[in-house]
Amino acid sequence: MAVTTNDRSALIPLLQQVQVEMGYVPKEAITEISKELLVSPSEIFGVLTFYSQFRLNPTGKHMVKICSGTACHVRGAPLIIDAVEDELGLENGEETTEDNEFTVEKVACFGACSLAPVIIIDEDTKGNITPDQARKMVRKIIKAEAKKSVAAQKSEEVVNG
Amino acid sequence: MANYTAIRKWADEEVSAQRADKARIAIGLGTCGIAAGGNTILEAAEKTLANNDEIKADIVSVGCIGICYKEPLLDIEIPGQPRLSYGPVTPGETKKILENVFIHNIYEHKKALAVIDDESFSEIPSWHEIPFFAPQERTVLRNCGFIDPEKIEDYIVNDGYAGLSRALLDMTPEAVVKETLDAGLRGRGGAGFPAGRKWTIAADNIRALKEKQSDLPSYGYVICNADEGDPGAFMNRSVLEGDPHSVIEGMTIAGYAIGASYGYIYCRAEYPLAIDRLKLALEQAREKNLLGENILETDFSFDIKLKEGAGAFVCGEETALIASIEGDRGMPMPRPPYPAQSGLWGIPTIINNVETLNNIPVILSKGATSWAKKGTEKSKGTKTFALTGKVQNTGLIEVELGMSLRQVIYDIGGGIPDGKEFKAAQTGGPSGGCLPKEQLDLTIDYEALAEAGSIMGSGGLVIMDESTCMVDVARYFLTFTQSESCGKCVPCRLGTKRMLEILTRITAGHGKIEDIALLEELAPSIRDSSLCGLGQSAPNPVLTTLKYFREEYEAHILDGRCPAGQCKALITYEIDADDCTGCMVCLRACPTEAITGARRELHVIDPELCTRCDTCRQVCKFDAVLVA
């Protein structure tokens, strides 16, 4: 019987740590971990892509998570997803908007089924949401961002001017 | 301070000191409470207290009591007075209620929900009288919503760790296994394998291993499966968030019983609050010598590590879960050998679900006979369910096994909202099935559910009404299982994909009548030849919907019609000329500008521009938007 080695079991926690810090797992991290644990990069890549939690690319500035659990599904989650994707111009399963402002993620289940359908935008959790409300939540953020960039431009003008 | 009497004494003193002269304001801040706006209630309560010197109370956050449809909940407990529950409250009402209760001694309020275990208020019902709670039996949820999950003393004063103390001090490991066997506790993760039998096999293998080898860090492992992956289920989350010590105690007892020195809790990463509370609980248990070296001054040592899942449904399967802890892709292995023979790193391992482990301390502290009084002959005890979907009272419930589906849906759940008709009850998540109204009198036990084509599963109970399309539900579950299939075995990898393709074309209006026969041919082959439970049970949603709702499949294929009005390709939106008032609300809300019309004139939907997003129907106050 093989003597238990705990090194290999550190792989997933390490990847999780990288993702918490960076928001995704960059290629360089795979190389580093590979050297550390003496596991080949291809094997790490295999583990990484197996689990839906891990991302290979950075996410947008704002995270929109829409629950697609059973309770949410029967209470209209597909309509929420359509509404948000339409509002953000995401097509054909794209997850992140071109301007890197938003990433939309369909989550299997938040476990807040009693309040279905549920959406989480950044830190803001809302239950019993309608497609119309979901659109409004997204629009509000877009508006706030636009305001911020105008303000930033103005202050830049002041500095430069 | 390490023996149980001393610990119990310490806890009693702590709790009475905390409660003696100070009132407690408890706010339900489980995931569901937060989603319902619990944090705004917390803020309102804090602000009210800051502005009123007369109100002296501690504000605490508690787990979920289960009555989710009344979230956010506000509970008030004043020393010498019964505990009162209000909900659903707004921040404004929170301020008003707190001022009423604490300053003016007025307890009645239109949001007064119940008084806990007391009948002294004539206008506020005792919580046992509320239809949602009356038929329930709380064993698993004994502490959820009542204790502060972040305080070990709260757990201990409610008989916490008494089971562990009895096991370690008064019983041999063999006697503990026997007690679990005698109770007849069956696995609450879904399959219903007797927990005591699993433990017996593991204990035998561990004993054999100890005779063979002498230098292993642990001769056995106890794994708590907290990878609650079924969409539509949150029973385990509520227990972990509301009563984390119960699971730790259950695991430690299991470790003693089988002869293991280490345990792992494999928890879904999607449950951050549960993970935080578990981490804290583990630290507290170690500090009080209820975990770690020489527990309660005995020779028994046991410790637990927490592992976060990484988002793979298949890791709920025991061998896949083990692979994941070992740092591999979570792919199942053929059984036998079973984990109880050769599990984590080749060592005998038992894997029990959160709810199974949560029952263990009760079995040990109250005795198997007392625990087994509830339930049916073959399905002992109680079971929690996440009652959700198209039902009036959604929430987390616990009932004695053997209760009928009808009682659960109508007595506890309060029936179907909006005057709609019940269509189906879905049990067992993606591995289960949809039961029609003819099965409403079915008793909830392992055998009856299996006979009807579904499974007990971990406790998801999603209610569907006439506006739920059963073909779409089958397609939904297959989308899930297909994307979660690990790809190791062909029947599951390709079989679920083919079934999904067929279901997708039926819901898109391109189905052929032969498709039904094709599904019926594919389903049993996938069931019989897949490697693990995921593939073996994936056809269940298809088989049960075909068995009970065949006419819906036929309507999609033969008439090009979705009777529930859900499948976008088969429905159109129209505005009723009689009911439309020309208020322009839908016209403004329509994201594709498909609605035309002037104020006080009939509005018209252009079917070419309409994307069936349902916004117009939802915003219309006059029910003038029709789906056909």
What is the 3-class SS of B457-513, one letter each residue?
A: CCCEEEEEECCCCHHHHHHHHHHHHHHHCCCCCHHHHHHHHHHHHHHHHHHCCCCCC
- Structure tokens of B488? 């190791």
Residue B263 and residue B214 in one domain: yes
Listed residues B344, B371, B398: the one ending a domain: B371
Q: Are B32 and B81 found together in one domain?
A: yes
Among residues 82-111 of chain A, which lie with CB inside 8 Å of chain B? 82-83, 86-87, 107-111
Specify whether B76 is located in the same domain as B97. yes
Handedness of CA B349, B352, B357, B359 (dihedral sign): negative
Q: Note whether B175 and B271 are same-domain residues.
A: yes
What is the domain count for chain B?
A: 5
pLDDT in tens, B204-222: 999 999 999 888 889 999 9
Residue B272 parent element (H or E): helix B272-287
Q: Please count the residues of chain A.
A: 161
Which CATH number goes with the domain that contains B49? 3.40.30.10
Tell me: do B318 and B176 sit in the same domain: yes
> pLDDT digits over A48-74, tens only?
999 999 999 999 999 999 999 998 999
Q: What percent of chain B has pLDDT over 90?
A: 83
Of B123, B121, B114, nearest to B85 by C-alpha is B114
Instruction: Give me Rg for the CA atoms of chain A.
Output: 20
How do residues B299-357 score in pLDDT, each as one tens digit? 999 999 999 999 899 999 999 999 999 999 999 999 999 999 999 999 999 999 999 99
Give me the interface pTM, i.e. the ipTM: 0.89
> What is the pTM (predicted TM-score) of this model?
0.92
In this predicted structure, which of A7-11, B491-495, B511-515 has the lowest mean pLDDT?
A: A7-11
Measured between CB atoms, does A36 come within 8 Å of chain B? no
At A161 the pLDDT is 57
Does residue B62 fall inside a structural domain? yes
Q: Are residues B261 and B340 in the same domain?
A: yes
- pLDDT at residue A5 in the model: 45
Q: Please tell me whether residues B495 and B524 are part of one structural domain.
A: yes
Q: Output DSSP code: residue B310.
A: -
Q: For chain A, what is the largest distance between any 2 Cα atoms, rounded to a whole number of angstroms?
A: 74
Answer whether B231 touches A (CB < 8 Å). yes
Distance (Å) of CA B587 to CA A92, B227, B602, B620: 27, 45, 11, 10
| Domain end point (choices B371, B399, B432) | B371
In single-letter form, the type of residue at position A23 comes to G
Check pLDDT > 80 for residue B31.
no
Reported as a single tens digit per residue, the pLDDT across B254-281 is 999 999 999 999 999 888 889 999 999 9
Q: So what's the pLDDT on residue A7?
A: 78
Q: What residues make up the domain containing B403?
A: 382-465
What would the mean pLDDT of B521-537 be, rounded to a whole number?
A: 96
B306 — contact with chain A (CB < 8 Å)?
A: no
Report the pLDDT value the prediction gives residue B270, as an integer from 0 to 100: 82
Cβ separation B32–A112 shorter than 8 A? yes
* Partner A contacted by B385 (CB < 8 A): no
Q: Are residues B449 and B507 in the same domain?
A: no
Give the pLDDT confidence score for residue A2 in this predicted structure. Answer: 34
Summarised one tens digit per residue, pLDDT across range B569-613 is 999 999 999 999 999 999 999 999 999 999 999 999 999 999 999
Q: Which of B38, B66, B44, B37 is nearest to B395 (CA)?
A: B66
Q: Report the residue of B228, B305, B329, B473 to disrupt the A interface, i.e. the one with the largest count of A CBs within 10 Å.
A: B329
Q: Please give the share of chain B, as a percent, with pLDDT higher than 70.
A: 99
Verify whether the Cβ–Cβ distance A108 to B429 is below 8 Å. Answer: no
Of residues A73, A75, A131, nearest to B476 (C-beta): A73
Of residues A11, A113, A130, nearest to B388 (C-beta): A113
The verdict on B542 and B578 lying in the same domain is no
> Has residue B420 been placed in a domain?
yes
Cis peptide before A117 (omega within 30 of 0): yes
* Alpha helices for B402-469 (secondary structure H): 405-406, 446-451
Residue B459 inside a domain? The answer is yes
What residues in B contact A112, CB-CB < 8 Å?
Answer: 31-32, 34-35, 234
Instruction: Verify whether the Cβ–Cβ distance A74 to B328 is below 8 Å.
Output: no
Residue of A nearest to B269 (CA): A53
- Mark B6-19 as b/e (b = at least 16 C-beta within 10 Å): ebbeebeebbeebe
pLDDT in tens, B49-63: 999 988 889 998 887
- The pLDDT of B241-265, averaged and rounded, is 97
pLDDT in tens, chain A (161 residues): 333 445 789 999 999 999 999 999 999 999 999 998 999 999 999 999 999 999 999 999 999 999 999 989 999 999 999 999 999 999 988 899 999 999 999 988 777 887 889 999 998 888 889 999 999 999 999 999 999 888 888 887 777 65
- Tell whether B581 is covered by a domain: yes
Q: B613 to chain A: which residues are within 8 Å by CB?
A: 79, 82-83, 86, 131
Q: Judging by DSSP bridges, how do beta strands B595-596 and B460-465 pair with one another?
A: unpaired
Q: What confidence score (pLDDT) does residue A110 get?
A: 78
Residues B355 and B410 in one domain: no
Q: How far is CA B380 from the centre of its chain?
A: 19
- Among B575, B588, B590, residue whose Cα is nearest residue B626: B575
- CB distance from A50 to chain B under 8 Å? yes
Q: How far is CA B106 from CA B42, B56, B71, B116, B126, in A?
A: 21, 16, 22, 17, 17
Among A12, A86, A130, the residue with its CB nearest the CB of B327 is A12
Task: Give the residue from B336, B371, B406 where a domain finishes.
Answer: B371
Q: How far apart are CA B248 and CA B149, in angstroms?
A: 13
Residues B191 and B269 in one domain: yes
Q: State chain B's mean pLDDT as an integer.
A: 94
pLDDT digits (tens, 9 = 90+) for B453-481: 999 988 999 999 999 999 999 999 999 99
In a domain, B425, yes or no: yes
CA distance B119 to B103: 22
User: Does B441 share its domain with B474?
Assistant: no
- The pLDDT, as a whole number, for residue A156 is 77
What is the rounded CA–CA span in Å between residue B85 and residue A130?
29
Residue B24: both structure tokens together: 């407690």
Residues of A in Cβ contact (< 8 Å) with B313: 108
Is B565 domain-assigned?
no
Q: Name B73's Cβ contacts closer than 8 Å, sequence gap at least 6.
A: B27, B28, B33, B38, B65, B67, B85, B86, B87, B88, B89, B113
pLDDT of residue B119: 67
Assess if residue B150 is contained within a domain: no
Nearest to B326 among A8, A71, A111 (CB): A8
In a domain, B211, yes or no: yes
How near does any CA of chain B get to the CA of A148, in Å?
26
Domains of chain A: 8-50 (no CATH), 62-160 (3.40.30.10)
A-B contacts (CB, under 8 Å): 167
The pLDDT value given to residue B622: 95
* Predicted pLDDT at B1: 46
Q: Which of A13, A83, A107 sits opposite B270 (nearest CB)?
A: A107
Instruction: Please report, for the domain that includes residue B611, its CATH number.
Output: 3.30.70.20
Asked if pLDDT for residue B118 goes beyond 80, the answer is no
**Domain at B547, CATH number:** 1.20.1440.230
